[in-house]
Amino acid sequence: MPSRRRTLLKVIILGDSGVGKTSLMNQYVNKKFSNQYKATIGADFLTKEVQFEDRLFTLQIWDTAGQERFQSLGVAFYRGADCCVLVYDVNSMKSFDNLNNWREEFLIQASPSDPENFPFVLIGNKVDVDGGNSRVVSEKKAKAWCASKGNIPYFETSAKEGTNVEEAFQCIAKNALKSGEEEELYLPDTIDVGTSSQQRSSGCEC
Amino acid sequence: MIADGAEDEEKWLAAGAAAFKQNAFYMQRAIDSNNLKDALKYSAQMLGELRTSKLSPHKYYDLYMRAFDELRKLEIFFMEETRRGCSVIELYELVQHAGNILPRLYLLCTAGSVYIKTKEAPAKDILKDLVEMCRGIQHPLRGLFLRSYLAQVSRDKLPDIGSEYEGDADTVTDAVEFVLLNFTEMNKLWVRMQHQVSHDLCCIACESLPFDDPELRLAVGLSGLQGPAREKERRERERSELRDLVGKNLHVLSQLEGVDLDMYRDTVLPRVLEQIVNCRDEIAQIYLVDCIIQVFPDEYHLQTLDVLLGACPQLQPSIDIMTVLSRLMERLSSYAALNVEVLPYFLQVEAFSKLNNAIGKVIEAQEDMPILSAVTLYSSLLKFTLHVHPDRLDYADQVLGSCIKQLSGKGKIDDSRATKEIVTLLSAPLEKYNDVVTALKLTNYPLVMEYLDNETKRIMATVIIRSIMKNNTLIATAEKVEALLELIGGLINDPDESQGVEVDEDDFEEGQNSVARLIHMLYNDDPEEMFKIISILKNHFLTGGPKRLKFTVPPLVVSALKLIRRLPVEGDNPFGKEASVSATKIFQFLNQAIKLGQIPLVLNQLCYSLRFLSLSVGAFCLLQIIEALPNVPSPDLAFRLYLQCAEAANKCDEEPIAYEFFTQAYILYEEEISDSKAQVTALQLIIGTLQRMHVFGVENRDTLTHKAMGYSSKLLKKPDQCRAVYGCSHLFWLEDHEAIQDGERVLLCLKRALKIANSAQQMISTAQGSSTVSVTLFIEMLNKYLYFYEKGIPQITVESVESLIKLIKNEEPMASDPSAESFFASTLRFMEFQKQKGGAIGDRYEEIKV
Ligand SMILES: Nc1nc2c(ncn2[C@@H]2O[C@H](COP(=O)(O)OP(=O)(O)O)[C@@H](O)[C@H]2O)c(=O)[nH]1
Ligand SMILES: [Mg+2]
C-alpha cells in the first residue's frame, strides 16, 4: 500500500455553551468577532489551511453546540478526531468544573485507540473581560488541572481581541499532526464489491 | 421498515459499515493511483450504503459521518484533478453518471463544492443547481442528510459579504436565498415524516409525484390511522433526533455577515416564519421558533418583536408557546441585564407592551390554557420588566394585574406547580429590588396572594420576611407596616388552624420565630410613629391567638421598652403632656400585653402564657437568646420581666406603673417561686432593683421594703436569711437621696441580721456541724458595718465595729478554716488600707482599735 499522506487534520472543540467556542473558531478562521450571542446548532465545521514544516494541511475545525437541546443527533462526528480542544471561560467556575465531563465524554464517545496519549489542548477564553477583574479561575488552577491530565498544553485567549488565538491553534495543529491516531487500516477480503448493498437498501432507485 | 430490535439495527449498521469500508478502501486506492474513473465508481458504491432504510437516525448519522469523512478525501482529490488540468465542468458532468440518484447527488455536491472553489462559474448558479437537484430525494431521512451535506459543504462557499465568493453576480442575497430554499425543503421533508406510513412510501414520492397532491396526502393520512400509537411515538422520537439538521440552516443564516438587521427583518425572518406557520406541524413549530430565538442576536429580536410575536397566535393552538415565549423573555432580560446601554432601545420599541399584548393574545386564543402556563408566562414577563424597566413599577403592577385577571373566578389554585410558579412570580420583585418597601408599592401584589392556599401564603410570608432580614430593610412607617402585615398574614393569622388543618409544629415555630425577628426591622426614630407601629402590630397579633402570642408579644414588649428608653424625661417631652405618645401610654400597652398573656393563665394554661414573658426578658439582652429561652423555667423569668419593666417605669417617673410592676413581681414571687435557691436569687433581684428605684413616695416605698424584709426573714436557710436581711439595709440608705437616709433602720436591719447569724451558729453547734459558715457570716456582717460606718452614719458606732471584730477573733473554728481566715485577713488589710488613705475616711478608720 502506498503510504498515505495525511493532509486533513480533524479537531473538535468542546466546552459549555457561551464560553466562546464559536468565537474562537471564527477568530481563527475568518479573523472576525461578534459581540452578539448566537447559539450553535448541531455540529458545524470550518476549514483552514495551515503551513507546517513546509507542508500544507487542512485543519477541519468542528464547533459544537454545548447545549444538549441542540445536539439531537449525538456525537458521531467525534470519530476520527486528531485533537480535542477543551474551552472554558476564565470568568466562570462552572465552565471550568465541567471540563472533566467534556473530556471524559469525548474519550468515551470518540474511543481513540490510545486514550492515555490522545492530544487535548485546553483554552481559557475571555481573558479580556473587565480587564481580567472578573476572572475566577486562576492560571495556576488551570495549569494544575492540565498537569493532572498528562500535561495538556494550555493557552489563555481572547477571541474578542484575538489574543493568543493563532498560537493556540498552531499548537492544536501540531498536536493533531503528532497524534498517534492513524486511520484504521482496512484490508478487503474480497475484490468483488458492489452487489451486497442492494439487499440492504430499498428497492427504489433513489 | 426499520428493524425493531436495537440488536438487529446494530447488525445492519455493522454490515453497512463493512461494505462501506471495503468500497472506501478501493476508492482510496483509486485516488492514490490518480484513477478518477475508479474513484468515482467505488465512491458511488460506497455512498450506496446510505440508501439503507434499516437504520434509525442515530445509526444513519454514524454511517453518514463515515461517508462525510471519505468524501473529504474525494474532494481533495477532485481539487487536485482540476489542478492537473481536468476540467471542473466535465467533472461536474462526470459524477452524474452514477447509477443511483442518492450517490449521484452526494458526488454532485462534492464536485459542486470544488466547482465553486475554482470560481469558474458564479457560486450562486452552482448552489442553485445543487439545491434544486436535491429535490430528487424525497425520502425524508435520506433527503435530510443529503441536504445537510449540501449545507455543510457549501457553508464556507456562500457569497457572503466579505467572502471571496462574493462578486458582481453573487451577492449575499443569493446566499440567503440558497439557505432559505434548502431550509424550506428540509423542513418539508421533516414534517412529512410525521405522516409517513412506512419508509418504503418514499418510493411513491420518489417517482416525482408532487407531495402537495391532496389525494396523496389523504392516502398517507388514512394509512397513518392504521399504525399503532407506538408507531407514532417512534416516529416522533425519530423526528426529534433529526431536528438539528433542519435547525442548522438557521444557524448558517445567523452566521452570515450579510444578514444584518435589515436583511433579517425584510427577508430572513418573514420567510422562515412563513415556512414555520404554513407547515402546521407542532414539532416543527415549537423547535424552529426556539431556534430563531436562540440563533439570532438579541438586538434583532428587539427590533422585530412585533413580527415574531405576531406569528405566535398563528401557530397550532396546541403547541407549548409558553415555553418559547418564556425563553424569548429570558433572553431579552439577560441581554438588558448585561448591556445597560441597550435599555433605551427597549423603550423605543415598546418591548414591554408588545410582550404584554402578545401574551394576552396567546392566552386569549388558547381558552383552556392551563393556569400553570399562564402564570409561567406572566412570571417571565415580570422578570423581564423588572430587569429592563426597573424604574417602571407600574409595568410590574400591570403584569400582576393581568395575572390576577387570569386567576380570578377560578378560586384558589390547586395545581402545585402553578402555586410554585406564583411563589416565583411574587419573589421576583423582592429579589430584584432587595427591598420589600418597593414591592409594597405594587397594589396588585397582595391581590395575587389572595389566590394562594394557606400553606403557600405561609411560604410566601417566609420568603418576604427572609428578604427583609437579608437586606436589613427597615420598614419605617405605620402605613407600610400595615401593608406588610397584610402580606405576611399567613403567619400572623392562619385560617388553617381554625379549620383544624394540621400544621407541622416545627414549621409553625420557625414561622413564628421569623415573625418575631421581623419586629426588629419595623422601626422609626420618631416616637409617635414608632408607637403607631407598635399598636398596629399589637392589633394584628391579637388576631393570631395565644399560640402565636408567646412568640410575637415578647419582641413587641422589647420594642415598647426600647421606645420608653428613647423618650425624653416627661418634663422635657417635646410633645407635652398631651402628646399622643407618652410613657404612660406605653406602659398601659405593656400592661395590656402582659395581661394578654394572663388570660389563658387564668383560663387554665398557667405556664403557657407565662412563657411569653420569659421570652421577652431574653429579648432584652439579645434576640438570639430568645431561641434558647423557652427551656428556662418560666415564672422565674416572668418575674424578672416585671422587675425590668418596673425599672423602666422608674426611669420615666411613672410611680403607679412602677408600683404595679413591683406588685406583680411580688405576686409571682409568692405564688410561683418555691424553690429555695430560686427564692434567694429572686430576692436579691428584688432588693437590688428596689434599691435603684427613686420614683416611689414614702408610703409605696415603705410597703415594698417592708415586704422585702418579710421575704428575707422567711427564707429557708439561716445563712440566706441573714444575707438577705443585711442586704435590705441598703434600702434605707441611698447615697444621693437625702430622703432615703434612715440610719436608725439601717442599724435595726443589721442587728436583726446579726441575730440570725447568732442563731445560725447555735443551730450548727448543736448539730455538731462545722461553724465556718457562721464565721463567714460574721465577717460579712463586719464588712457591712464597715461600709455604713465609713459613710458616717451616726448609729453605726466604732464600738459596734470593734465588738464584732472581737467576736470573730474569739471564734473557735477560725484556725481550722483557711478560707474564713483569709477572708478575715483581707478585711483587716482593707481597714489598714483605708486608714493609710488619710482624710475623713482615714480618720474614721484611725478610731477603730483592732
Ligand atoms: N469579551 C469577550 N467575549 C467573548 C469572547 N469570546 C466569546 N465572547 C462572547 O461570548 C458569547 C458566547 O460566545 P460563543 O462563541 O457563541 O460561545 P459558544 O457557545 O461557546 O460557541 C458571545 O456573546 C461572544 O461575543 C472573548 O474572548 N471575550
Ligand atoms: Mg457556539
Residues B48, B101, single domain; the answer is yes
**Nearest alpha carbon, ligand 1 atom 12:** A18
Residues 6+ apart with CB under 8 A from B166: B159, B160, B172
C-alpha cell at A4: 498515505
DSSP secondary structure, chain A, as one string: -PPPP--EEEEEEE--TTSSHHHHHHHHHH----SS-----S-EEEEEEEEETTEEEEEEEEE---SGGG-TT-SGGGTT-SEEEEEEETT-HHHHHTHHHHHHHHHHHH--S-GGG--EEEEEE-TTGGGGTT--S-HHHHHHHHHHTT---EEE-BTTTTBTHHHHHHHHHHHHHH---PPPP---S-S--SSTHHHHB-SS--
Task: Tell whether B338 and B412 lie within a shared domain.
Answer: yes
Enter the ipTM. Answer: 0.91
- Residue B584, in any domain of the structure: no
- Domain-located, residue B551: no
Q: Which ligand 1 atom minimizes the distance to the CA of A161?
A: 27
The answer to whether A39 and A65 are in contact (CB under 8 A) is: yes
> Does a structural domain hold residue B115?
yes
- Tell me, yes or no, whether B781 lies in a domain: no
> What's the pLDDT band for B615 if we cut at 50, 70, 90?
very low
Same domain, B380 and B427: yes
Name the residue with cell 408600683: B659
Which of A62-71, A103-112, B767-776 is least confident?
Answer: B767-776
- Asked, for residue B139, whether it belongs to a domain, the answer is no
Determine the Cα–Cα distance for residues B640 and B621; give it in Å rounded to an integer: 12
Q: Please indicate whether, in this complex, the C-beta atoms of B72 and A8 are within 8 angstroms of each other.
A: yes
Is residue B587 within 8 A of residue B657, CB to CB? The reply is: yes
Q: Residue B119: pLDDT above 60?
A: yes
B247 contact residues in A (CB cutoff 8 A): 41-42, 70
Residue B613 reports pLDDT greater than 70: no
For atom 13 of ligand 1, the residue with the nearest CA is A20
DSSP labels, B633-674: -HHHHHHHHHHHHHHHHHHTT-HHHHHHHHHHHHHHHHHT--
With helix as H, strand as E and coil as C, how does B123-157 read?
Answer: HHHHHHHHHHHHHHCCCHHHHHHHHHHHHHHHCCC
Distance of CA B611 to the CA centre of its chain: 32
Selection from B361, B280, B363 nearest residue B315 by Cα: B280
Residues from chain B contacting residue A206 (CB–CB below 8 Å): 51, 100-102, 136-139, 142, 202-203, 206
Closest alpha carbon to B440 in B500, B400, B470 = B400
Minimum mean pLDDT range among A13-17, B145-149, B471-475, B559-563? B559-563
pLDDT exceeds 80 at position A129: yes
B90/B84 Cα distance (integer angstroms): 13
Alpha carbon of B15: minimum distance to chain A alpha carbons (Å): 9
Q: What is the predicted pLDDT for the residue at B561?
A: 65
Based on the fold, state whether residues B316 and B270 are members of the same structural domain.
no
Kindly report, residue by residue over B358-371, the tens digit of the pLDDT: 888 888 877 777 88
CB contact under 8 A, A72 and B21: no
Shortest alpha-carbon distance between residue B470 and chain A (Å): 25
What is the distance in angstroms between the CA of the first residue and the CA of the last residue of chain B?
A: 122
Provide the pLDDT confidence category of residue B220 given band limits of 50, 70 and 90. Answer: very low
Residue of B nearest to A197 (CA): B49
- What would the pLDDT profile of A147-205 be if each residue is shown by its tens digit? 999 999 999 999 999 999 999 999 999 999 887 555 555 666 654 444 444 444 444 55
Going by pLDDT thresholds of 50, 70 and 90, the confidence category of residue B623 is: very low
Nearest residue (by CA) to ligand 1, atom 1, is A129
* DSSP type of residue B476: -
Pick the residue whose CA is nearest to atom 7 on ligand 1. A20
Domain boundary among B276, B294, B312: B294
Q: Distances in Å between the alpha carbon of A167 and those of A120, A154, B157?
A: 15, 11, 26
Residue of B847 and B41 predicted with greater confidence: B41
Higher pLDDT among residues B351 and B633, named by residue: B351
Residues B347, B249 share a domain: no
Domain shared by B262 and B310, yes or no: no
What is the greatest pairwise CA distance in chain B? 140
- Gap from B241 CA to chain A (nearest CA, Å): 5
> With the C-alpha atoms ordered A154, A156, A162, A163, is the resulting torsion angle positive or negative?
negative
Q: Which ligand is nearest to the CA of A16?
A: 1
Distance, CA of B847 to CA of B843 (rounded, Å): 7
Q: How far apart are CA A154 and CA A142, in angstroms?
A: 8
Residue B540 CA to residue B560 CA, distance in Å, equals 16
B327: contact with A, CB 8 A cutoff? no
Mutate to test the interface with A, among B9, B11, B13, B22 (most CBs of A within 10 A): B22
Distance from CA of A1 to the nearest CA of B (A): 8
Structural domain contains residue B42: yes
Pocket of ligand 1 (CB under 6 A): A 15, 17-23, 34-37, 40, 66, 125-126, 128-129, 158-160
User: Above 90 in pLDDT, residue B648?
Assistant: no
Which of B433, B463, B497 delimits the end of a domain? Answer: B433
Are B345 and B326 in contact, with CB atoms under 8 Å apart? Answer: no
Residue-wise DSSP of B700-747: HHHHHHHHHHHHHHT-SSHHHHHHHHHHHGGGGB-TT-GGGB-HHHHH
Indicate if the pLDDT at residue B631 is higher than 70. Answer: no
Give the residue numbers spanning the domain of B225.
167-294
Contact A204 B240 (CB under 8 A): no
Q: CB of B45 within 8 Å of any CB in chain A?
A: yes
Specify the pLDDT at position B750: 93
Q: Closest-CA residue in chain A for B65?
A: A77
Rounded CA-CA distance A96/B673 in Å is: 65
In a domain, B645, yes or no: no
Instruction: Name which residue sits closest to atom 25 of ligand 1, judged by CA.
Output: A35
DSSP B389: -
For residue A184, what is the nearest residue in chain B, using CA coordinates? B21
Computed on alpha carbons and rounded to an integer, the radius of gyration of chain B in Å comes to 46
Residues 184-203 of B with CB under 8 A from A: 199-200, 202-203
Radius of gyration of chain A (CA): 19
Q: Based on the domain organization, do B29 and B77 belong to the same domain? A: yes
Q: Are residues B284 and B246 part of one domain?
A: yes
Put simply, whether B69 touches A (Cβ < 8 Å) is: yes
Q: Which residue of A has its CA nearest to B45?
A: A194
Which of A25, A73, A182 to probe by mutation at the B interface, max B CB count within 10 Å? A73
B301 and B287 share one domain: no
- Count of other CB atoms within 10 angstroms of residue A68: 8
Q: Confidence band (pLDDT; 50, 70, 90) for B695? A: confident
Facing A201 at nearest CB: one of B48, B206, B247? B48
Please tell me the distance in Å from B115's CA to the nearest CA on chain A: 17
Give the percent of chain A with pLDDT over 90. Answer: 65
Could you give the number of structural domains in chain B? 3
B102 shares its domain with B194: no
B 102-121 residues with CB < 8 A to A: 102
B24 lies in some domain: yes
Which domains can be identified in chain A, with CATH numbers?
3-200 (3.40.50.300)
How many whole angstroms separate alpha carbon B25 and alpha carbon B46?
9
Q: Are residues B286 and B224 in the same domain?
A: yes
Do B175 and B267 lie in one domain? The reply is yes
Last-in-domain residue among B121, B155, B180: B121
Q: Give the pLDDT confidence of A56-85 residue by residue, as tens digits.
A: 889 999 999 988 778 889 899 998 899 999
Give yes or no for residue B481 having a pLDDT over 80. Answer: yes
Please list every residue in chain B whose beta carbon sits closer than 8 Å to the beta carbon of residue A9: none
Helix (H, G, I), strand (E, B) or coil at B544: coil
Residues 6+ apart with CB under 8 A from B92: B108, B111, B112, B115
Question: Residue B45 and residue A197: Cβ atoms within 8 Å?
Answer: yes
Residues of B in contact with A7 (CB under 8 A): 76
- Whole-structure pTM value: 0.69
- The closest alpha carbon to A194, from B516, B24, B489, belongs to B24
CA dist B235 → A138, A206, B22, B62, B191 (Å): 48, 22, 32, 19, 11
Cβ neighbour number for residue B526 with a 10 Å cutoff: 13
Res B496: pLDDT: 64
- Percent of the residues in chain B that have a pLDDT greater than 90, as a whole number: 43
Q: Is the model more confident about B517 or about A87?
A: A87
